[in-house]
Amino acid sequence: MKYSCLIAVLCSLGGWQQATAQTTKTQLLAQEILREGLALYESERASWIATDLLMARQPDMTGVVGYLTYAHQDSISTIFLHQAPDKQAIAVKYGFTFARTSILPATGRNISARPVSAREERLFALRLLVMDELQSHKLLKSAYGFPENTRPNVVILDDNQAARAYVLTGPQEGGVLPIGNDFLMSFTSAGKLSKIERLHNSYIPMRVPEGGQTIEAGMHSHLPAHPYITPTDICSLLLYQDALPAKQHLVMSNEYVSIFDLPKRQLTFLTRKAFDKITKDQQKSHSPGE
């Protein structure tokens, strides 16, 4: 996976869309990837904001064994779980809930201490399976490597689809947009970890180039195994957009180009052939003497 910043806009998104109509199949795929990416982003953002709200209260964290973030209808909640000394019962000790359209510090509503629900207990069990796999790598058969100044962030989604967990690499330093070194873990209906898929082959911490250039678009490339932008890409681009303030991001593969418009939260797929032709035509139209 290689990366370069685009200092100038190659061509407008509107031009790309007019040049090549997406097929129904690719439209549906784009919608699915975008929906999953936005769900990941909402979960991670809620986790961030809730943690900041909690830490500002200087809470007693004795017995707190982890957190969960999950969506329910139009809201999303982050709960911090307490486990009894006997290592059996778990309960919600702290928590915050947000409207999914407004995940902000000012909109967080407090969740009082209470017993966990059946769903929360199930999600916590899945999270423990993920954390155990990250330590033991029994299923992956090789160690999970996380670069210096990073840590794994686990996001579990369990909407209308089967439960699945994403493991993202989160930077522990500012000014970094993390791309890559991420995994998708699938569970059986019985809650057993069944499959692990590596989404990128490497990790690239993207930064604004020195010199203060204005970045109109960012770009990285994918290998044939993942020809389109991934949900984790979308999540990271939105979550860390202050680190690399580009309005558009392109993911290049041998056959396709994924174009993600961050402000509009729109995703478009083009064939690589169509993209290369449009770029070539625009270069000709802007060349001297023409």
pLDDT, tens only, 116-173: 999 999 999 999 999 999 999 999 999 999 999 999 999 999 987 789 999 999 999 9
Domain that holds residue 181: 3-284
Per-residue pLDDT tens over the stretch 195-251: 999 999 899 999 887 766 778 899 999 999 999 999 999 999 999 999 988 999 999
A 10 A CB-CB count for 75 gives 16
Say which DSSP state 181 is in. -
Looking up tokens 């830490």, which residue turns up? 55
pTM of the model: 0.89
Q: Is residue 47 part of a domain?
A: yes
Q: Is residue 289 part of a domain?
A: no
Q: How many domains does the chain have?
A: 1
- 3-class DSSP state of 197: strand
Cα 182 from Cα 168, distance rounded (Å): 5
Cα 147 from Cα 181, distance rounded (Å): 9
Cα 49 from Cα 69, distance rounded (Å): 11
Cα 25 from Cα 82, distance rounded (Å): 45
Q: Is residue 277 part of a domain?
A: yes
Q: Is residue 79 part of a domain?
A: yes
Can you name the residues that pair with 170 across neighbouring β-strands?
151
Cα 82 from Cα 64, distance rounded (Å): 4
